[in-house]
Amino acid sequence: MNTSTRLRIAIQKSGRLSKDCQSLLKQLGIKLNLREQRLIAHSTNMPIDVLRVRDDDIPGLVMDGVCDLGIVGENVLVETQAERERVGQPNAVEKLSKLDFGYCRLALAWPQELGQQSKDWFKGKRIATTYPEILKQYLAAENIDASVVMLTGSVEVAPRAGLADAICDLVSTGATLEANGLMQGETILESNACLIQNANLNDDAKLSLINKLLPRLKGVKQAKE
């Protein structure tokens, strides 16, 4: 549990969500000194600390109450929730807002030379992914008996490397798939970054600070529309 009286927010340290997270916090009026490569950045004008970590760690930190808030892709959130559900760890969070950045889709793809394929083609195949729980749920719902190969990176090279027959990976423009000779199939999850809160947060001062930040967030989102 975060026993600090300062509101703790987890964001991605470096990656596709970092810049947007930093500019969002700035637009919310939270002044931070992010220049140093520190794990924690203290706000100079509000009782807020920002923890900069790998995106994969963000849902767990919020679910365990180590951080009060977090900004993370729904893809990582849904995967962590399913994984924790399976092993019986706490996985509840309150989703405060869907944000207007970090859009991507988790989609199936296979070697282009095979041409268009139906769902039946996946039966008995090996599918590489970083999102095994989401993929397994999809396969179960579609009644497809396929095996899932977990890879934490370079999923798009798995078919060429002979590690899998197909992949299930994040796509935004499709350029990476094309560059790797893959053809995009069904989308199994659409994702945006979202703001999540620890489900058991009951510190009045922190809750009232969050209640002050949320209308600002709404304003920032409306201004962009």
Instruction: Report the nearest approach of Zn ion to the CB of residue 209 (Å).
Output: 28
Q: Return the bridge partners of 197, or none.
A: 69, 94
Pick between residue 11 and residue 164 the one whose CB is nearest to ligand ATP: 11
Determine contact, residues 188/108, Cβ cutoff 8 Å. yes
Which residues within the stretch 31-90 sit at the binding site for Zn ion (CB under 5 A)?
A: 55-56
Instruction: Report the nearest approach of Zn ion to the CB of residue 54 (Å).
Output: 5
β strands within the chain, DSSP E: 7-12, 40-42, 48-53, 69-73, 93-98, 104-111, 126-129, 147-150, 166-171, 182-191, 193-198
Coil vs helix vs strand at 207: helix
Determine contact, residues 157/149, Cβ cutoff 8 Å. no
Pick between residue 189 and residue 209 the one whose CB is nearest to ligand ATP: 189
Determine contact, residues 194/78, Cβ cutoff 8 Å. no
How far is 181 from 175, CA to CA, in rounded Å?
Answer: 10
Which residues within the stretch 51-90 sit at the binding site for ligand ATP (CB under 6 A)?
A: 54-56, 73, 75-76
How far is 158 from 218, CA to CA, in rounded Å?
Answer: 41
> Among 7, 9, 11, 17, which residue interacts with ligand ATP (rule: CB under 6 A)?
17
The verdict on 20 binding ligand ATP (CB under 6 A) reads no
| Interface pattern 181-220 for ligand ATP (x via CB under 6 A) | ----------x-----------------------------
Tokens standing for residue 22: 């930093």
Determine contact, residues 127/167, Cβ cutoff 8 Å. yes
> Among 46, 170, 177, 183, which residue interacts with ligand ATP (rule: CB under 6 A)?
170
Instruction: Report the nearest approach of ligand ATP to the CB of residue 105 (Å).
Output: 9
Pick between residue 129 and residue 191 the one whose CB is nearest to ligand ATP: 191
* Residue with the shortest CB distance to ligand ATP: 73
Q: Footprint of Zn ion on this chain (CB under 5 A)?
A: 55-56
Which residues of the chain form contacts with ligand ATP (CB under 6 A)? 12, 15-17, 54-56, 73, 75-76, 102, 104, 170-172, 191
